[in-house]
């Protein structure tokens, strides 16, 4: 059974940084055929795909975070990361890690619809 556990959220002031982690387990047999990513959700707003890490190690980002966020993956630790710099109040949301089988590449938007996701970690940015 796939398990994704996020950590690293918290409260920071605008301009600050956070690094989110997502520890994955239970799907090693499909690991090399899966895309992983992050999406976020704030109550009252639509979910937003944030970043995706593709099978070929390419990455894509939402325009709203491009240049500020970096997604990376440590295969040895089966862990996905999201380094978030220059945080803004509008980045405040619950952040979810997600994984699914995919073709070589996935889009950022598709991350929201992946079959497996974690419980989320809250990020709050104050002005």
Dump pLDDT digits (tens) for 96-115.
999 998 887 899 999 999 99
CB atoms within 10 A of CB 70: 15
CB 32 within 8 A of CB 39: no
Q: What Å distances lie between residue 67 and 56, 64, 70, 78, 83, CA to CA? A: 21, 9, 8, 25, 11
* Cα–Cα distance measured from residue 115 to residue 31, given in angstroms and rounded to the nearest whole number: 14
Q: Is the pLDDT of residue 17 over 80?
A: yes
Average pLDDT, the chain: 93
Residue pLDDT, tens place only, 42-77: 999 999 999 999 999 999 999 999 999 999 999 888
Report the pLDDT value the prediction gives residue 31, as an integer from 0 to 100: 60
Q: Is the pLDDT of residue 85 over 70?
A: yes
Report the pLDDT value the prediction gives residue 9, as an integer from 0 to 100: 98
Mean pLDDT in residue range 6-29? 92
């Amino acid at each position: 059974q796939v398990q994704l556990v996020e950590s690293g959220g918290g409260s920071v002031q605008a301009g600050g940084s956070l690094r989110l982690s997502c520890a994955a387990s239970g799907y090693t047999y499909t690991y090399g055929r899966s895309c992983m990513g992050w999406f976020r959700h704030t109550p009252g707003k639509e979910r937003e795909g944030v970043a995706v890490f593709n099978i070929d190690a390419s990455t894509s980002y939402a325009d709203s975070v491009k240049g500020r966020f970096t997604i990376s993956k440590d295969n040895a630790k089966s862990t996905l990361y999201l380094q978030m710099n220059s945080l803004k109040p509008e980045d405040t949301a619950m952040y979810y890690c997600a994984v699914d089988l995919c073709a070589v590449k996935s889009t950022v938007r598709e991350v929201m619809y992946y079959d497996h996701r974690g419980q989320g970690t809250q990020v709050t940015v104050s002005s």
